Amino acid sequence: MKRHLLLLTVAAMGIIGCSETNEAPDIDGSRYSTCFVQDYVEADQIKIFADNGSSIGFVAEGTLIDGNLLAPTYADTGFNSNIVPHSTQAIANQFMAIELVSNNDYDEGHKAGSSLADIVYLAGASPCDFIRSRYLSSFDWNLAPEFYAENRSFASYHAKYAPVYLRLSEIDGNDLMLLDPRFFLEFSAPPTLSTTHKFTLTITDNKGKEIRLAFDWTSWE
């Protein structure tokens, strides 16, 4: 089952995913499900949903895929509990590399056109650890990197997810497996040269597809 939906409104839709019974939902709207991740997004575009100056929030959008279809791929088949439909999402086409460049000089070490990957962090979340633990362990969000508390970005994620906080230049292999479609890029320091930039964000997935977004940005200092 595939549908093109806006990720920020999908939780309000009344479509049942990952449910394998016809039982009526509980009073909170939850239903029995064998899989924890309810929806996957085959991302083909990236949009900005928040700009706090020192960090920028992005959302991956594309084709929505029922969680049952990809659950076996990620061994997510033994959840066997109630969950609110569409309350958990992950990106289907795994991101392998994220690159950010500017058309202007950022600082002495990052001139126009050079990679900013060593001074920009990805802050997101993933249910990978929860699923791998056979749904037994969950992360204590009080221990998350400072970014999540400062920006209250933890409120964007399901409580069973764990933070994914990595310098872009250090992303490798399966670091971004089951990444939530909502994620942030955080600058570790403000620019010291130009204060206005036109950034180009390039994300490469596990199939070699590149997703690009160009956008304007002004320094927060």
- List, as one string, the DSSP characters of 138-190: ---GGGS-HHHHHTTGGGGS-TT-EEEEEEGGG--TTTTTT--SEEEEEESS-
Q: Which amino acid is at 57?
A: G
Please spell the DSSP secondary structure of 78-146, one letter per residue.
Answer: ---EEE-TTS-EEESS-EEEEEEEESS--BTTB-TTSB-TTTEEEEEEESHHHHHTTS-----GGGS-H
Find out whether 173 and 180 touch, Cβ atoms under 8 Å. no
Mean pLDDT, the chain cut into blocks of 10 residues (221 residues total): 38 40 61 98 96 92 98 97 96 96 97 97 96 94 91 81 97 94 95 95 96 93 65
CA 107 to CA 191: how far, in whole Å? 6
- Quick one: pLDDT at residue 153? 67
Confidence at residue 220, expressed as pLDDT on a 0 to 100 scale: 77
Counting beta carbons within 10 angstroms of the beta carbon of residue 23, is it exposed (0 to 12), middle (13 to 18) or buried (19 or more)?
exposed
pLDDT of amino acid 26: 59
Q: Are 36 and 83 in contact (CB under 8 A)?
A: yes
Q: In sequence order, what are the residues at sequence separation of 6 or more whose Cβ sits closer than 8 angstroms to the Cβ of residue 139? A: 129, 130, 160, 161, 162, 163
pLDDT of residue 34: 98
Per-domain residue ranges for the chain?
A: 2-218
CA 184 distance to own-chain centroid: 8
pTM for the structure as a whole: 0.85
Nearest Cα to Cα of residue 184 among 80, 54, 29: 54
